[in-house]
């Protein structure tokens, strides 16, 4: 009887699904939410590695990593937050030539978006000067790189003081897009990745903010030091930087890093 029980237990262990394997855990900037899921699906088909992403503002993800959250890879919307983790000894630059600098995997683009059924003129810089613009959605500049870019734009246009009382401030860039798409704001300074999603492409139109109005939104990647999935993490970053995936990022609204 005992022998048969051991045989049965051994059989169950042998039949245990590969899904029990620990997934690769990714802390991903909110602008990647429309972009990353299909890439992770393709990555799993190509490598057999299952990866799961948590999407939030880069500052919020940094705080979670500092507090011990069990992430393996951090894909930030800027270089500053992952650099902070490197300096604290909590992450490394994933094998880049300069170990003190995160790997740049893409560059973001800021756009002004408004619904097609808006009472306002189509998006342009002139729309930001329109007195009928009552609510402008932006991401929190203290937590989201796209929010800082939005503030830079408004400062360079000398519109910040006039528009600040009209801000609908979102926790991250994805929520900023939701604010304006839902009608809780008249227009929004959001990411091109959000503007190119099927829903927003159908509901509204966007204007690409000239790049000389804000600092480059260079998006950086690091591997978290405490990870036990370092080999898989390197494979993911190599995959993200491959020409086919860089081309896919470009279609989704991110400028390729290479």
pLDDT of residue 22: 84
For 70-109, letters b (16+ CB in 10 Å) and e give ebbbbbbbbbbbbbbbbeeebbbbbebeeeeebbbbbebb
Residue 99's pLDDT band, with cuts at 50, 70 and 90, is low
Residue 256 buriedness (CB in 10 A; 0-12 / 13-18 / 19+): middle
Residue 81's pLDDT band, with cuts at 50, 70 and 90, is very high
What are the beta bridge partners of residue 115?
A: 204
Residue 9's pLDDT band, with cuts at 50, 70 and 90, is very low
- Tokens for 8? 């049965």
CATH of 110-208, one of 3.30.1490.20, 3.40.190.10, 2.40.10.10, 3.30.70.20: 3.40.190.10
Tell me the pLDDT of the chain averaged across its residues.
90
Residue 215 has phi, psi (to 5 degrees) of -65, 150
Name the architecture of domain 22-107+216-256: 3-Layer(aba) Sandwich (3.40)
List all residues 6 or more positions away from 48 whose beta carbon is below 8 Å from its beta carbon.
18
Judged against a pLDDT cut of 50, whether residue 14 lies above it is answered with: no
pLDDT in tens, 124-172: 999 999 999 999 999 999 999 999 999 999 999 999 999 999 999 999 9
pLDDT of residue 98: 61
Residue 100's pLDDT band, with cuts at 50, 70 and 90, is confident
pLDDT more than 70, % of the chain: 90
Distance CA 24, CA 53 (A): 8
pLDDT in tens, 25-67: 999 999 999 999 999 999 999 999 999 999 999 999 999 999 9
112 CB-side CA count, 13 A: 24
Element (H, E) at 59: helix 58-66
Of 6-20, 138-152, 188-202, 224-238, the poorest mean pLDDT is in: 6-20
- Tokens for 40? 């992770």
State whether the Cα torsion 109-64-88-139 is positive or negative. positive
Averaged pLDDT for residues 198-207 = 96
Of 18-22, 188-192, 243-247, the poorest mean pLDDT is in: 18-22
**Tokens 């097609």, residue located:** 116
Cβ–Cβ < 8 Å for 117, 182: no
Q: pTM, whole model, 2 decimals?
A: 0.86
**Domain spans of the chain, in order of start:** 22-107+216-256, 110-208
Of 14-28, 120-134, 158-172, 231-245, the poorest mean pLDDT is in: 14-28
Cβ–Cβ < 8 Å for 216, 154: no
Helix (H, G, I), strand (E, B) or coil at 51: strand
Q: If DSSP states are collapsed to H, E and C, what string results for 190-242?
A: EEHHHHCCHHHHHHEEEEECCHHHCCCEEEEEEEECCCCCHHHHHHHHHHHCC
CA dihedral (173, 184, 186, 35) in degrees, to 10, reads 30
pLDDT of residue 96: 54
Same fold? 22-107+216-256, 110-208:
yes
pLDDT of residue 101: 84
Cβ–Cβ < 8 Å for 112, 189: yes
């Amino acid at each position: 009887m005992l022998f048969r029980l051991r045989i049965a237990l051994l059989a169950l262990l042998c039949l245990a699904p590969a899904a029990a394997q620990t997934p690769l855990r990714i802390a991903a900037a909110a602008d990647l939410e429309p972009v990353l899921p299909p890439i992770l699906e393709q990555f799993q088909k190509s490598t057999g590695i299952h990866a799961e992403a948590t999407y939030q503002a880069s500052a919020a993800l940094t705080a979670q990593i500092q507090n011990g959250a069990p992430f393996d890879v951090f894909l930030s919307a800027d270089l500053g937050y992952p650099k902070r983790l490197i300096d604290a000894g909590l992450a490394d630059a994933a094998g880049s030539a300069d170990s003190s600098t995160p790997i740049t995997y893409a560059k973001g683009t800021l756009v002004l978006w408004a619904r097609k059924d808006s009472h306002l003129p189509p998006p342009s810089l002139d729309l930001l000067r329109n007195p009928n613009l009552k609510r402008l959605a932006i991401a929190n500049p203290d937590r989201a790189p796209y929010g800082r870019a939005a503030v830079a734009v408004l400062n360079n246009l000398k519109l910040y003081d006039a528009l600040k009382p009209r801000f609908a401030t979102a926790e991250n860039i994805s929520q900023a897009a939701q604010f304006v798409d839902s009608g809780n704001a008249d227009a929004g300074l959001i990411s091109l990745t959000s503007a190119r999603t099927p829903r927003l492409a159908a509901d509204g139109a966007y204007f690409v903010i000239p790049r000389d109005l804000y600092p480059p939104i260079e998006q950086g990647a690091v591997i978290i030091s405490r990870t036990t999935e370092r080999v898989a993490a390197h494979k993911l970053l190599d995959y993200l930087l491959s020409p086919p995936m860089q081309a896919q990022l470009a279609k989704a609204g991110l400028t390729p890093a290479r």
